[in-house]
Structure 1
Amino acid sequence: MRKIEISSLRPGMILSSGIYNSRGEELIMAGKQLTDAYVQQLLKQGVTVAWVDDAAPLGQQVNDVIKWQTRLAAVNQVRNILLDAKDSGRLVIEPQNLYNTVGEFTEQLLARKNLIFNLVDLRSQDDYTFAHSVNVCTLSLMTGITMGYSREDLEVLGVGALLHDLGKVKIPDQILNKPGALSKEEFDIMKKHTIFGYELIHEAGNIGEVQALMALQHHENYDGSGYPVGIQDKKIHEFSQVVAIADRFDAITADRVYRKAFPPHEAFEMCSAAGDYFVKDNISKAFMHNIAAYPAGTLVELNNGMIGMAVDTPKGFSLFPLVRVFYNSEFQPVPKQFNLPLYKKPGLCVLRVLQDSMGYKFKELR
């Protein structure tokens, strides 16, 4: 069983797990053999990933750091909060419900401390903001755990992460969903979502000031080049910086109306160079510690010419996955597939990422 992007599904693959939309409705049940019609239906619904049992060389399950049921419930919770705020113009919320969600996330992350973030996604274009907030919460909590935060600090961080983009409910849809580049005037309006988020949380009166600051400051940069104020260094709350790098990574690895997603390894490079100009260096390092540059299922060519698939990445070795090798440097199938742990092999590394269409050829030649 392996996770695969919907765009890479092929007729004949067998679903090993049911596929649900972001509202929890089952679209296709487990055990179904995919047809062109099913694939097109999933693409139309905006579903992004599926679990399949297609006899591909990976042949093993990849565990998410958060159970999908928990993640889905959190997406729906954030959706309800943001849509209510959009309709009413104010934040009416029971904080304990958010703290309970963050607590459940924290328990699961602590129980899976050895797992790395493998870019699991349940979002469609229409649900981007809601699922993005949940991903940012997950990534922020993982970073906070790496940095040794207390349970109390993790609660504050997690709730702030879930609400960091709250202010977007006051941004006109024609700007939020514009398929092209924003004009200067439109971008000036977009930047106000940080101020709107701060005001909504502050005015609610039952969420802490730190969470309001996280909404306000998550686009401020350590070197002073961010917005809305352009503050720098220690003037930016540490939690705001944690949310900032989580926000950036998740945003650039998502399909948007105005551009395609960047591959995880490219996003990794962008964020790994962020230390002491985008966020404080120790925060950048703690964040990257939890990210798989080559998520499980990624087809790669190694610098020795071998070709295989990333199947796992140990925490702290983000660029050096365990690779299942099935082609030698002459592009001939190896007599017997084997695992090559790059993190234990000095001098060996991933040279480039291959297209998933090649993975289907590998399946046929296996």
Structure 2
Amino acid sequence: MKLVNTKTIKPGAVLAQSIYNENGVVLISSGMSLTDKVIRRLINYGITYVYIEDERTKDIYVESLIPDKLRTEATRTIKDTFTEIKKQGIMEKSYILDKKGKELMDVVKKLTEEIKNNDQSLSMLTDIFLTDNYIFQHSLNVAIYSLAIGVNLNFTNKKLMDIGIGSLLHDVGKIFIEQDILQKPDRLSDEEFEIVKNHTVLGYRFLSKNGGVPSVVAHCAYEHHERLDGSGYPRGLVGNELHTYAKVIGVADVFDAVTSNRVYRDAMLPHEGLEILYAGAVHLFDKEMVEAFKKSIVVFPIGLSVELSDGRKGVVARQNQHLCDRPVIRVVKEKETEVAPYEIDLSKVLNLTIVSVMKD
């Protein structure tokens, strides 16, 4: 299979990986020959990349680190929790998290077990799930990334539980903000941006006065937009004034935001998102957290078309654990001429590098 941008798919291409909704129901089945209408449907769903069948890479397949059943369960739990909170509104005292806290903890335990017990690196592009609200999927992705960083940094089980719950609920304040502003396709006005920024305060106020989750979870919501140089919000904290969990979630939050499709822009590929984090390392983000994150993710996903430094072109066939930027490449072209496919392991051929990604 090969990973392609939905805007470059030609009619007649065959979908190689099914697309699901948040309840695990198949929306578009693998094996379907894509028509203009279906391709437009994919684009309208906000899907930037999909896997299609390809004769030269038909033996290349992708396995999801997080099982489909667990992803569906986790997304439904997040949605139910946020929906109940929104329905009840910000009150002096709420018992929703007393009821939902155990379910959230169960989700975190299961996610942590999958990450700890699996040698694969994370590749969220292989998880084609759609929800009716970006916040639900984003919250789950940020939790998975944050837990992966925590595992890499040898956090205790208690710390992993705290940061898992904190990351699942880091954006809870957004449910108290008008969706018209959150989903606005145009640039926000200064007034609208201030309203959006207030989600950190709203989330903190809600979580700090309600039981059912560890008290530090409130600070995950409060501080995940703070930055080391004081340029973040809401309080402009500097350096070690930020809680460790906020530093972790800040990295995970930014990466998922830029690699997810939004109403105002297409998703970046993982290597582009990682470049943003490295550009901000030291000044904006904790370098240790960024390094731990790099070790946890797939930078060049399986099926991605790439060009090597000597001009050869191919498709990422397999990953090398802990060497996220040096995968195995299935070469299909030499100097623009198609050749019989063969593989190069970049972990062993050190004079070659990936110099560009072909999105078509």
Query: Normalised by the size of structure 1, how large is the TM-score?
Result: 0.89
Aligned position for 2:117: 111
Q: Does residue 355 of the first structure (1) align with residue 342 of the second (2)?
A: no
C-alpha contact (below 8 Å) 1:164/1:218 kept by paired residues: yes
C-alpha contact (below 8 Å) 2:20/2:130 kept by paired residues: no
AA at the equivalent of 1:339: E
Aligned position for 2:19: 19
Deviation at 1:65, TM superposition (A): 1.7
C-alpha contact (below 8 Å) 2:184/2:263 kept by paired residues: yes
Deviation at 1:21, TM superposition (A): 1.7
Q: Distance in 2 between matches of 1:153 and 1:279?
A: 20
C-alpha contact (below 8 Å) 2:226/2:232 kept by paired residues: yes
Structure 1 residues 70 and 52: CA distance shift in structure 2, 3 A: farther
For 1:211, which of 196, 209, 217 is the aligned residue? 217
Root-mean-square deviation (Å): 2.2
Aligned position for 1:362: none
> Within 5 Å, which residues of 2 pair with 1:34-53?
34-46=34-46, 50=50, 52-53=52-53
Q: Which range moves more in the overlay, 81-90 or 226-235?
A: 81-90
AA at the equivalent of 1:331: E
Q: Does residue 254 of the first structure (1) align with residue 260 of the second (2)?
A: yes
C-alpha contact (below 8 Å) 2:302/2:317 kept by paired residues: yes
Deviation at 1:133, TM superposition (A): 0.6
Superposed CA deviations along residues 205-228 of structure 1, whole A, max 9, x for unmatched, are 221111110010000001211100
Q: Secondary structure at the match of 2:57?
A: coil
- The percentage of aligned residue pairs carrying the same residue is 33
Aligned position for 2:105: 99
Q: Distance in 2 between matches of 1:118 and 1:333?
A: 30
Aligned position for 2:200: 194
For 1:294, which of 300, 303, 307 is the aligned residue? 300
Which structure has more relative contact order (CA 8 Å, sep 6+)? It is: 2
Q: Secondary structure at the match of 1:185?
A: helix
AA at the equivalent of 2:64: D
C-alpha contact (below 8 Å) 1:48/1:122 kept by paired residues: no
Deviation at 1:282, TM superposition (A): 1.0
Structure 1 residues 86 and 244: CA distance shift in structure 2, 3 A: same
AA at the equivalent of 2:68: W
Q: Distance in 1 between matches of 2:81 and 2:4?
A: 30
Q: Does residue 332 of the first structure (1) align with residue 337 of the second (2)?
A: yes
C-alpha contact (below 8 Å) 1:275/1:285 kept by paired residues: no
Aligned position for 1:140: 146
Q: Secondary structure at the match of 1:327?
A: strand
Deviation at 1:23, TM superposition (A): 3.3
Aligned position for 1:283: 289
Deviation at 1:36, TM superposition (A): 3.4
C-alpha contact (below 8 Å) 2:13/2:34 kept by paired residues: yes
Structure 1 residues 5 and 22: CA distance shift in structure 2, 3 A: farther
C-alpha contact (below 8 Å) 1:325/1:339 kept by paired residues: yes
Deviation at 1:104, TM superposition (A): 0.8
C-alpha contact (below 8 Å) 1:116/1:314 kept by paired residues: no
Q: Distance in 2 between matches of 1:118 and 1:124?
A: 12
Q: Distance in 2 between matches of 1:82 and 1:62?
A: 31
Runs of 4+ in structure 1 displaced over 6 angstroms?
Answer: none
Deviation at 1:149, TM superposition (A): 1.0
Superposed CA deviations along residues 24-70 of structure 1, whole A, max 9, x for unmatched, are 33223444444334334444444566554442426311122211221
Q: Secondary structure at the match of 1:169?
A: helix
Q: Distance in 2 between matches of 1:45 and 1:217?
A: 31
C-alpha contact (below 8 Å) 1:293/1:319 kept by paired residues: yes
Q: Distance in 2 between matches of 1:3 and 1:203?
A: 46
C-alpha contact (below 8 Å) 1:122/1:131 kept by paired residues: no
Deviation at 1:229, TM superposition (A): 0.1
Superposed CA deviations along residues 268-323 of structure 1, whole A, max 9, x for unmatched, are 11112332222222111101112222211211111111000112332332222211
For 1:343, which of 347, 353, 356 is the aligned residue? 347
AA at the equivalent of 1:347: N
Q: Distance in 2 between matches of 1:3 and 1:307?
A: 14
Q: Distance in 2 between matches of 1:269 and 1:28?
A: 32
> Within 5 Å, which residues of 2 pair with 1:123-138?
124=130, 126-138=132-144
Q: Which range moves more in the overlay, 166-175 or 213-222?
A: 166-175
For 2:239, which of 221, 233, 237 is the aligned residue? 233
Structure 1 residues 18 and 257: CA distance shift in structure 2, 3 A: closer
Q: Distance in 2 between matches of 1:297 and 1:129?
A: 28
C-alpha contact (below 8 Å) 2:306/2:314 kept by paired residues: yes
Deviation at 1:234, TM superposition (A): 1.4
Q: Which segments of 5 or more consecutive residues in structure 1 lack a partner in the other structure? A: 357-366
Structure 1 residues 326 and 17: CA distance shift in structure 2, 3 A: closer
Superposed CA deviations along residues 222-277 of structure 1, whole A, max 9, x for unmatched, are 12111000111111111111111000000011121222222322211111233222
